[in-house]
Amino acid sequence: MQRKRITDAVKTILGDLIAIPSTDPPGDTTAICAYAADRLAAAGYATETLSRAEGVANAVGRMGEGRPSLVFNAHADTVDVGERANWRTDPFAATEVDGRLHGLGAGNCKASMAVQLWLAERIAEAGGPRDGEVVFTFVGDEERLGPNGLAFLREEGVVRPDYLVLGAQTECQAIAAERGVFWTRLTARGRAAHAGDPEAGDSAILRMMRLIETLRRELDPRLTVRRRGGHKSTMNIGTIRGGHNTNAVPSECMIEIDRRTLSDEKVDAAFAEMRAALATSGEAEESYSFEFLTGTNGFASAADAPCIAAFHRAIEQTTGAPPRELIAVGASDGRYFADDGIEILTFGPGAAHEGHAANESVPLADLAPAAEIQLAVVEELLGLG
């Protein structure tokens, strides 16, 4: 009965959240963060809504003071609907089908947001943290890997966590390690000419092919053997653009590369490694350029660290099964804190493959355990009342 009450309460909040559009584009989180701030304020939290980019609102609720600081986070923005015809239900109406709640953002990341709002209210009802502070943050700009959400709150000193718990689809398991990620742009240059006389030109596309082959030849053998547990060091060419007309030799070609690093690899060193590999291509230095676009290091917290250990105990107590090791495929906003020497983990209901797709859904059976586990962690780390 207790679990049903929790499930029903979280489901109601989740239904409210799904009904508030927060798609990126345009990435406007004003309305959904106002909803969160109102609930936090009504529960007794000191709240503020902060923004440095138009439409990207970030709601913060704080209770208690001092150390340790336990910060919960969930991003309030979602991907776009995509092809509406692919949806069997209204993306902006929570619809229950066969034990699952469907709707845009149901899993990524509004289910975690709903659970955290429920958690915030239960903490307040219990009298707040006995030691330290608990902070809830609901932010935008996550889906575009942008700097105006949780990264902004960190830069402004609004949050200075000892423990950071990020909502994510982790099947109610605690993921304490995440790869770093950075994006680069490689631009090859050539000389335009008529396609009827290609030898009069210098094809940027052919140069790019040689540069790509160099990267693959030099880096693939190295990355293949770089593993840490289930994590792999990877490189992926995500976009390629070149040429303007079929009947012309192209003067420019550009690719953008996604590079994932292990938690013990540093982004700066990995970028330098790619640059050094390109230098072995034999192409003239002035014939191409290689730029760093954005990126952050990965993180890994020890299994016996206080917050991680508290989650493991709560998972086993709540589910009756030992915690399982899951591998994070994507990147969270936790990456902005990777070099801060704090404990970082992701946790929440649902599975990663259930987000970012038409007919997105979350299992209702995950909602109450996710709530109970996190409440037990708060009680262990901070105490209540």
Could you list the beta-strand ranges (E) of 32-154.
Answer: 46-50, 58-64, 69-75, 78-79, 95-97, 100-102, 133-139
The distance in angstroms from the start CA to the end CA of the chain is 24
- Based on the domain organization, do 146 and 212 belong to the same domain? no
Crossing angle of the two packed helices 306-319 and 367-381, in degrees rounded to 10: 140
State which of 229, 261, 293 marks the end of a domain: 293
Instruction: Indicate if 203 and 61 belong to the same structural domain.
Output: no
Query: 40 and 147 share a domain?
Result: yes
Residue numbers of the domain that contains 370:
2-178+298-381
- Reported residue count of the chain is 385
Q: Is the dihedral of CA 73, 1, 352, 260 positive or negative?
A: positive
What tens-digit pLDDT sequence spans the chain (385 residues)?
A: 589 999 999 999 999 999 999 999 999 999 999 999 999 999 999 999 999 999 999 999 999 999 999 999 999 999 999 899 999 999 999 999 999 999 999 999 999 999 999 999 999 999 999 999 999 999 999 998 889 999 999 999 999 999 999 999 999 999 999 999 999 999 999 999 999 999 999 999 999 999 999 999 999 999 999 998 889 999 999 999 999 999 999 999 999 999 999 988 999 999 999 999 999 999 999 999 999 998 899 999 888 999 999 999 999 999 999 999 888 877 899 999 999 999 999 999 999 888 788 899 999 999 999 999 999 999 999 999 8
Residues 29, 171 share a domain: yes
Query: Comparing C-alpha atoms, which of 378, 362, 376, 381 is closest to residue 318?
Result: 376
From 266, 293, 320, give the residue that closes a domain: 293
- 250: domain CATH number is 3.30.70.360
Q: Give the residues across from 289 on adjacent strands.
A: 187
Query: Do 279 and 201 share a structural domain?
Result: yes
In the chain, the number of structural domains is 2
Q: H helices within 25-183, ranges in order?
A: 30-43, 110-125, 150-155
Are 193 and 167 within one domain?
A: no
The answer to whether residues 101 and 26 belong to one domain is yes
Last residue of a domain, one of 265, 293, 321: 293
Structure-block tokens of residue 80: 């776009």
Q: What is the CATH number of the domain that holds 92?
A: 3.40.630.10
